[in-house]
Amino acid sequence: MVGRKARDKTQVCAVVYPNYGEAQQRVQAHGLSLDRESLQSLVAAEIELQAAELAPYKRVSQVILTDTPLPKTALRKVAREQMSDDYSFDVKRWSEQAQQLVP
């Protein structure tokens, strides 16, 4: 989660690098194709489900998908200070990169 300024207010944004295997299973279970829009809607729905008990100001206002893994610290936590301001998501690049990471 990162904070972004919009209209002089800080909004909570989620930068998500989807798990390829899990995403593929969920897309197939819902009868959708593996594309950006279906992934975006599935991730947003899962975040909304998890945030049901949060106060409105703590909820995620924007979901950003990325096709590259997030930077990590030595303790395997997300290195927020190394995160970029811009992210892109290409399904083909994401699937190729995810398949390379699988041992």
- The answer to whether the predicted template modeling score (pTM) of the entire model surpasses 0.85 is no
User: pLDDT (tens digit, 9 = 90+) per residue, 11-66?
Assistant: 788 899 999 989 989 999 989 888 999 999 999 999 999 888 888 888 888 899 99
The verdict on domain 2-101 having CATH code 3.30.300 is: yes
Q: Could you tell me the residue ranges of all domains in the chain?
A: 2-101
Q: Check: CB of residue 40 under 8 Å from CB of residue 28.
A: no
Distance CA 36, CA 2 (A): 21
Where is 22: in which H helix or E strand?
helix 20-29
pLDDT band at 74 (very low <50, low <70, confident <90, very high): very high
- The pLDDT assigned to 97 comes to 82
Count the Cβ atoms, other than its own, within 10 Å of residue 65.
21
